[in-house]
Structure 1
Amino acid sequence: MPRFLHIAASRFERLSPAATKIFCTKDWTHLGEGPINWSNEIREQFQFGQYRNGLRLLLASIYRNHRPRYDAGTLKKMYDSCEFREFFFKAGDRLDFADNELSFIVSEHFFEHLFLDDAIALLRECQRILKPGGVIRTCVPDADLRTYEPPEAPAYPSPRVPWTHHQKHRSRWSIYSFSEALNLTGFQPRGVIYCDKDCNFIQDLPAPPTSEYPLLESHPLVATTEYFRRLPSLVVDGIKR
């Protein structure tokens, strides 16, 4: 059974080369979205008044069709090299892993797409399947406290985008709110990249060996965030108590 889990609102072909190199091994299970219907995505962007995004997606779809990042053979090899599962989550769902099975979970830009009750439920599931001392590392938009760019607009990406749409950000996170969510679900929170209420931008990657991470003292993924595509963002670790 796999020892590591990756949760993201994207498929392998949309991840960074550094991420695919790390996650495309037999040790990992990847939970991501289903195939993209580019025509629907582009049409919806224009319907929602997101003209710049619609044009960007149109150009991206043309580029991908004519100059794909990966050819069909490479893509098949990537998906065959680990376990990929299409993933949607709501409160009451159960992750298909045994209790105390995994040691490390990485999640990139997924939890902001969940309402708070669903996010708490997913964190509880992650706590259940992690071994004591295991870690979940989450990367989400630092919606309100970030100083490296303006705060996230309300009802992102637009008030015209319905709350049922998969692109909608349904929750807003800061180092304080995500830490509290981790506390509530049985984790010891530790900020890795974040902005605090005094407008300080802090990067505090752990440097192994460290007693904070009993299962991952020598694991190289603890000391890097190179597998995240969208940085800077809020990055918080939760260590299972």
Structure 2
Amino acid sequence: MIQLKSRIRKTDGDLYIIIGAHNTNYENWLPTNIENLNLLDKASFQNLFEEKKVSRFLAEHVFEHISYEDALIALKNCNQYMKKGGTIRIAVPDGFHPNPDYINMVKPGGIGEGAHDHKLLYDYKKLGKVLEDAGFKAVPLEYYDEQGQFHFTEWDSKDGHVHRSKRYDKRFNEPLGYSSLIVDGIKI
């Protein structure tokens, strides 16, 4: 925690924070975990960032582990400690994925790794709504719609690398077709 806080203090330019990925290492990004950034505790944000504002947050497969109500609190906290025009990139399992085996793996209580702790299965509408309710403009990047049609908008990995994505996860083209719902929330 002390080392992370020191690195944040020494950052002069843009501050890029990975949420819920303490051991993830991306160039120019600082990883956090609940021990040093509790998304539901405004004091945790204040303690870590003090007067600094974050340019980008990245949360890959984090928000499905908290309730909608807690996601709203977490996103409002992120918004408060973010620069205007900053972005939070969120990747979660996609509730509109057309493959029922995928849904059985990722739904709350599903059979996939980590699904026992999933609280919510988002689709682009639900994730967009919670982002908008927290003061962000929602911009879907990768998602399935209600008819099972996949949509993809070009995005730059430097703005938040999502391994479990069409471009970076080799399982996307396998029979299961693993993918993530990826949405950027832009602070307005």
**Which residue of 68, 81, 85 maps to 1:116?**
68
Q: Structure 1 residue 31: deviation in Å? A: 1.2
Q: Structure 1 residue 197: deviation in Å? A: 1.2
Mark the CA change 1:87 to 1:98 in structure 2 (over 3 Å): closer, same or farther. Answer: closer
* Residue aligning to 1:234: 181
Spell out the pairing of 1:183-222 with structure 2 (5 A cutoff). 183-206=132-155, 221-222=158-159
**Deviations, residues 33-78 of structure 1 (Å, cap 9, x unaligned):** 6xxxxxxxxxxxxxxxxxxxxxxxxxxxxxxxxxxxxxxxxxxxxx
Partner Cα separation in structure 2 for residue 89 and residue 187 of structure 1: 16
Residue 155 (str. 1) matches residue 156 (str. 2): no
* Residue aligning to 1:106: 58
AA in 2 matched with 1:181: V
Percent sequence identity over aligned pairs: 23
Mark the CA change 1:112 to 1:204 in structure 2 (over 3 Å): closer, same or farther. Answer: same
Give the count of matched residue pairs: 157
Alignment RMSD:
2.8
**Deviations, residues 94-143 of structure 1 (Å, cap 9, x unaligned):** 4232467111111110000011111111100111111110100001111x
Report if aligned partners of 2:37, 2:44 keep a CA contact under 8 Å in 1. no
**Deviations, residues 196-223 of structure 1 (Å, cap 9, x unaligned):** 112210111247xxxxxxxxxxxx624x
Larger radius of gyration: 1
Q: Structure 1 residue 192: deviation in Å? A: 0.3
Q: Structure 1 residue 155: deviation in Å? A: 2.9
* Residue aligning to 1:56: none
Mark the CA change 1:149 to 1:235 in structure 2 (over 3 Å): closer, same or farther. Answer: farther
Report if aligned partners of 2:109, 2:115 keep a CA contact under 8 Å in 1. no
Partner Cα separation in structure 1 for residue 158 and residue 146 of structure 2: 28
* Residue aligning to 1:7: 19
Secondary structure (helix, strand or coil) at the match of 2:120 reads coil
Q: Structure 1 residue 86: deviation in Å? A: 4.3
Mark the CA change 1:100 to 1:197 in structure 2 (over 3 Å): closer, same or farther. Answer: farther
5+ residue gaps in structure 1? 34-84, 159-164, 208-219
Report if aligned partners of 1:98, 1:129 keep a CA contact under 8 Å in 2. no
Report if aligned partners of 1:136, 1:239 keep a CA contact under 8 Å in 2. yes
Spell out the pairing of 1:63-102 with structure 2 (5 A cutoff). 86-90=36-40, 94-95=44-45, 96-98=48-50, 101-102=53-54
5+ residue gaps in structure 2? 1-8, 166-178
